[in-house]
A = this chain, B = another copy of it.
């Protein structure tokens, strides 16, 4: 296992996410799937169905992160333009591929495989397909960019055929300690002190509020599992001290 940091950028494509009509869940699904592979999500962007923006974002992220994941815009309708934008981002051609058509035939009868659905077999040149066990229309990998469906159940179905292509870095472990009845501001000072003491560990504090309860959850992350156990003890002592 390597000790360098491997990063991912996530691009969530779709007007419906920006209008608030659809609540994204793909980011957290992908982030949680990447964590045990030793890949940290560095940034996510939620962008409109706009060819220029998609193309530019793919290009920027492909340079900035080790891996890029896109979701959305690979269906059969006129606003499904992601495949063309990936091709444009890397100056590649794009055309209907026989292996992708073969996958679609597993789902659609001859008569159903109309022009719109055949669009889902248009793949940028040189890309390798990603299997879709849910609805067959494949995703694809172009260099370090993985293009997946936007519908969460279909997206999740594509992850198993991506996992073996990821070379992760150092795994990041986390521990968390929750304290009821205290405020973030009570803990700020001693928390910074704990972070200074344990080099390489970063600690976040996440306040929560509801009708009955306020409190804070502290989450410590780092690569050294043994050190994190010590951090957990230090955090527990801090919480005992404050409550």
Interface positions of A (Cβ within 8 A of B): 14-25, 27-32, 35, 40-49, 53, 75-79, 108, 112, 114-117, 119-120, 134-135, 151, 153-154, 174, 183-189, 191-192, 195, 202-209, 219, 221
User: Which residues from B are CB-within-8-Å of A44?
Assistant: 17-18, 45-46
With contact pairs A19-B35, A209-B151, A219-B21 given, residues A185 and B79 touching in the complex (Cβ less than 8 Å): no
Q: Which residues of B contact A204 (CB under 8 A)?
A: 14-16, 49, 79
In the complex, residue of chain B having the shortest beta-carbon distance to the beta carbon of A42: B48
A-B contact pairs, 23 of them (CB 8 A): A17-B44, A18-B27, A18-B31, A18-B41, A18-B42, A18-B43, A42-B48, A43-B53, A45-B45, A75-B184, A75-B207, A77-B185, A77-B205, A78-B188, A78-B195, A79-B205, A112-B185, A114-B186, A114-B188, A115-B189, A151-B207, A151-B209, A154-B209
Knowing that A20-B27, A23-B25, A77-B192 touch, tell me 5 more A-B residue pairs with CB under 8 angstroms.
Answer: A16-B206, A45-B46, A77-B188, A79-B203, A135-B209
Distance A76 CA – B216 CA, assembled complex (angstroms): 12
Known: A20-B28, A21-B219, A41-B19. A114 touches B185 (CB 8 A): yes
Residue of B nearest to A25 (CB): B23
Count the copies: 2
Please give me the 10 A-B residue pairs with the lowest Cβ-Cβ distance, nearest first. Answer: A20-B31, A116-B188, A20-B28, A76-B185, A117-B185, A20-B32, A44-B46, A18-B41, A78-B192, A77-B188
**In the complex, what's the smallest C-beta–C-beta distance from A25 to chain B, in angstroms?**
7
CB distance from A52 to the nearest CB of B (A): 12
Pick the contact of A48: B14, B43, B153 (CB < 8 A). Answer: B43
A219–B16 touching, CB < 8 Å = yes
Given A29-B20, A151-B209, A189-B116, is A77 in contact with B46 using a C-beta cutoff of 8 Å?
Answer: no
Which residue in chain B gives the minimum CB-CB distance to A208?
A: B151
A13 to chain B, nearest CB (A): 11
Compute how far the CA of A61 lies from the CA of B162 in the bound complex, rounded to whole angstroms.
Answer: 33
**Do B45 and A43 have beta carbons less than 8 Å apart?**
yes
